[in-house]
Amino acid sequence: MTQINQQNKDAVVTAAPGYQTLNPATGELLKEFNTLTDAEAEQLLSNAHEAYLKWRKVPVEERIEIFRKFADLMDENIDRFANQITLEMGKPLSEAKMESGLPGMIFRYFADNALEMLTERDINVEGFTRVYSRLEPIGVTLAIEPWNGPLYQSMRAAAPNLMLGNAVIMKPAEIVAGSTLMMDEIFEKAGFPSKIYQSALVSREQVTSFIADSRVRAVALTGSDRAGSIIGEQAGRHIKPVVLELGGSDAFIALDSSNPVAVAAEASACRLFGIGQSCMSPKRAIVTEKISEAFIKEYIKAFENQKVGDPFDPETTTGPLSSIAAADNLHAQYQDAVDKGAKVLVEGGRVAGTGAFFKPAVLSGITPNMRLYHEEAFGPLGMIYVVPDAEAAITLANATKYGLGGTVFSEDLDEAKYVAESIDTGMVGINRYMGAPLNVPFGGTKASGVGRELGSNAMDAFANLKTYSIL
């Protein structure tokens, strides 16, 4: 493995805190994991490269059959995975089951569409009998994935790489290592070649070393924009492609002609899903003055009706945040806004006692001197902005460094399209929250990242688009 020089060490944020899983509802230590030694990390990378050299030669039709077996096995283990996710990061069990069903769906999507994605594309060039291009694998992809969707996020990166013919090294977030490690067993049972997919409990210094190594050919990261800038810089230094899926502060815009009650119900439900810990959660509700009173009344009703508690309790709607640190940071953002004059529509904040609980809250009157105006609020904190018209909504929606997604509601479809086209995002839903359908490219602009995952473009950044010409 390439040695890490002092300059690279300085580029790493800090030493990783170590892999340990805690129950965020109780603070109980679930398990501690050993970080790989440098020798073990080198062996893991060597194994991945050797597996790639064999896997790339496996016909696509055989890969498809293995993908389908993997999907079936994931479906059979939904309850087991859901239980682990809820234990490690506090997601209500019903939502954890929903997430546990997604890997099977993702792998079936690529199994169903691989032949079309990987087909040769003919190009008419005078003087040649045939010119064509096709996507070909490049080697080992390092995937660095987050805690808020430990199965969904990791498999969203792994599936297109594996179908393409690449090997995958999966570095999980330190607090959900148990969930990610369970995936290795499923890959083995499905019939994937040994070491073609490996969970890697590596340090941040070892991540830097992986990126510098010639056997790693691409990097995928889902995380904060701070992490993205570090990983992007390191990959750029070695001229390697990246897909960076980073933060978001999406706007949910309700214009004059929209139904304020129905739209507020959808906006609040989207904000609260996943305990608000999602990059694509619509964090800022922007509503025009004409309908603001009815919208606000319905929006705050949803937040007031949340039940905070044990994520295994079917009555619970809001479990703990992923960690004490996450809950404390969200409360600091909330308190900063309140101290500087934000209007409290639903009072919330940190809940006393053990666990990383945060009572859902709603604020309005947020101004540029407050942290929440500029930062991503990762948790059940709703923010409502009232504006005079569509133009003001566009200006406010774009007044952020982020550009992941957005939502626009209006009975006037021309107006809705105009607003949607005017906001600087990678995705936008008109008269319905878009989410992340498997067949739609997922990704953003500005500090929300570069590249796309899912959909027909999912393989692009991880492939060699190779062109052949025949005289």
DSSP string, 200-264: ----HHHHHHHHHSTTEEEEEEES-HHHHHHHHHHHHHTT--EEEE-----EEEE-TTS-HHHHH
Closest CA relative to residue 222, chosen from 460, 455, 451, 36? 451
Does the residue 443 lie in any domain? no
Give yes or no for residue 15 having a pLDDT over 90: no
Q: What is the pLDDT of residues 75-97, one digit of tens each?
A: 999 999 999 999 999 999 999 99
Give dist(CA 201, CA 234) in Å, integer.
19
Give yes or no for residue 450 having a pLDDT over 70: yes
- Report the mean per-residue pLDDT for the chain: 94
Boundaries of domain holding 208: 6-246+448-470
- Residues 170, 256 within the same domain: no
Task: Give the CATH number of the domain where residue 418 resides.
Answer: 3.40.309.10
- Residues 291, 431 within the same domain: yes
This prediction's pTM: 0.93
Q: Which of 3-12, 104-113, 179-188, 200-209 has the lowest mean pLDDT?
A: 3-12
Give yes or no for residue 14 having a pLDDT over 60: no
The two structure tokens encoding residue 253: 């815009």
Task: Give the CATH number of the domain where residue 186 resides.
Answer: 3.40.605.10
- Residues 255, 239 within the same domain: no
Mean pLDDT of 125-135: 97
CB 160 within 8 A of CB 189: no
- Residues 274, 211 within the same domain: no
Higher pLDDT, 345 or 12: 345
Q: What is the pLDDT of residues 453-464, one digit of tens each?
A: 999 999 999 999
- Residues 128, 201 within the same domain: yes
Count of domains for the chain? 2
Mean pLDDT of 233-238: 97
- Residues 226, 285 within the same domain: no
pLDDT at residue 17, rounded to an integer: 56
- Residues 87, 193 within the same domain: yes
Residues with active-site annotation: 245, 279
Give dist(CA 267, CA 297) in Å, integer.
12
Give dist(CA 395, CA 388) in Å, integer.
11
